[in-house]
Amino acid sequence: MFRSIAVTVTITSMAIPLMGPAELCAATVRGTVLLRDSFDGPDDTTDLTGQPHDVHLNSDLSARQAGSLLGAVPYRLDVGGGNSPQYRNPYLSSNRLVMKGGSLNHSLNRSQIIAPNHDFVDPAITTARGFVIEFTVNPTSGNTSTDWFAVSLGHTQSSVANAASYHPEVTDPVADFGILFRGNGGFSTFGDGTFNGGGGSYASGHGAADFFDIRVEVETASFAPGETVTLRTFVNNQQLDMGPDPGNELTFLWDGDGSNYISLESRREPSLFDNLAISTIPEPSTFILLTVGAVGLLARSYRQRRKRFRRAMIIRPFLAWRTK
């Protein structure tokens, strides 16, 4: 009799789904989301030449965007350069943002760019000592094209609002950091508008339909000119080596403008962007507390299971034997 009870208890115990420490630690720890955009919305229509153009990108923002500090933030679009804006505007399609600057939709070899019209120097960022930019992107060009997409930061309001030129590009001198990713899997990094020697490969053998998760982590205590910045970049959770500095990080100093507008950019190939998120960097103390807490819970769970197991295997049979 007691043997069947023991077997039942043991099976029940094993059936409890267990999460290992590795799974807990791999769970993404996030800071406060300042701005998130799903780009989920009605498809933009086409103009008389058959080219899609923006109708919805800057409407219905409150239905698409979220963020504890900002709510709905409009985008500045790069519509300058003497070409008709409808040939150059980014647009929404299939719940994503599509950008395709360059010869695909006008004669000049130029980018399409969007920049949230917000200076990301929020107190929440300096309190957390940094921020994180995340998005997913599909370069669409397979693994041979030298066309590229990019993200850059440290732009100024005047650069973002400058419709008469092609700012805020990755090579804008006011941009403190920028990284461009080519369709062929190569990447290059820039600082203050010039190539800073960082580059390498972020992918190889990928297909034309593959999406990449891009994550740029920026550690900084302030946006004051000369403040030290430590930057890390991840593609599909793999950290890239940012350049000649030891290790994979890049260290630089904020320039003199004290601004931090952020832009996404595409050159020639149609790049599909999705799920843009700009958050405060997770505080190390929070991460450590969560990890320590998770390990503590696991240890307690293990002790409780061991206790139940001992009770089922030893104490109950002993009691049953005594009452016989």
Strand, helix or coil for residue 168:
coil
Among 176, 217, 219, 269, binds Ca ion (CB under 5 A): 176
The site for Ca ion, by CB under 5 A, has a size of 11
Residue 168 CB, nearest distance to Ca ion (Å)? 10
What mask, x for binding Ca ion by CB under 5 A, covers residues 93 to 112? --x-----------------
Residue 87 CB, nearest distance to Ca ion (Å)? 24
Residue 179 CB, nearest distance to Ca ion (Å)? 14
What mask, x for binding Ca ion by CB under 5 A, covers residues 236 to 275? -----x-------------x-x----------------x-
Stretch that binds Ca ion, among 19-27, 167-175, 177-185, 202-210 (CB under 5 A): 167-175
What are the percentages of helix, strand and coil residues in the chain, rounded to 5?
25, 30, 45
Strand, helix or coil for residue 171:
coil
> Of 42 and 296, which CB lies nearer to Ca ion in the complex structure?
42
Among 35, 37, 39, 139, binds Ca ion (CB under 5 A): 39
Residue 249 CB, nearest distance to Ca ion (Å)? 7
Cα separation, 200 vs 196, whole angstroms: 12
Which candidate, 46, 119, 113, places its Cα nearest to that of 80? 113
SS (H, E, C) 25-48: HHCCCCCCEEEEECCCCCCCCECC
Residue 136 CB, nearest distance to Ca ion (Å)? 9
Interface residues for Ca ion in 139-158 (CB under 5 A)? 154
Strand, helix or coil for residue 183:
coil
Residue 100 CB, nearest distance to Ca ion (Å)? 17
Among 38, 58, 59, 126, binds Ca ion (CB under 5 A): 38
Residue 210 sits in the site that holds Ca ion (CB under 5 A) = no
> Of 35 and 312, which CB lies nearer to Ca ion in the complex structure?
35
Q: In the structure encoding, which two tokens stand for residue 36, read together?
A: 């998130």
Segments in the chain forming alpha helices (H): 2-15, 21-26, 61-64, 85-88, 123-128, 157-160, 284-310, 316-323
Among 174, 179, 214, 231, binds Ca ion (CB under 5 A): 174
Does residue 148 contact residue 178 with C-beta atoms inside 8 Å? no
Pairing of strands 96-99, 271-280: antiparallel
Which candidate, 116, 58, 145, 84, places its Cα nearest to that of 261? 116
Residue 150 CB, nearest distance to Ca ion (Å)? 16
Which candidate, 238, 278, 232, places its Cα nearest to that of 252? 232
> Of 4 and 62, which CB lies nearer to Ca ion in the complex structure?
62
Dihedral of alpha carbons 32, 180, 149, 83, sign: positive
Cα separation, 78 vs 101, whole angstroms: 10
Stretch that binds Ca ion, among 36-44, 125-133, 140-148, 224-232 (CB under 5 A): 36-44
Interface residues for Ca ion in 57-96 (CB under 5 A)? 95
Q: In the structure encoding, which two tokens stand for residue 87, read together?
A: 């040939």
What residues make contact with Ca ion under the rule CB under 5 A? 38-40, 95, 154, 174, 176, 241, 255, 257, 274
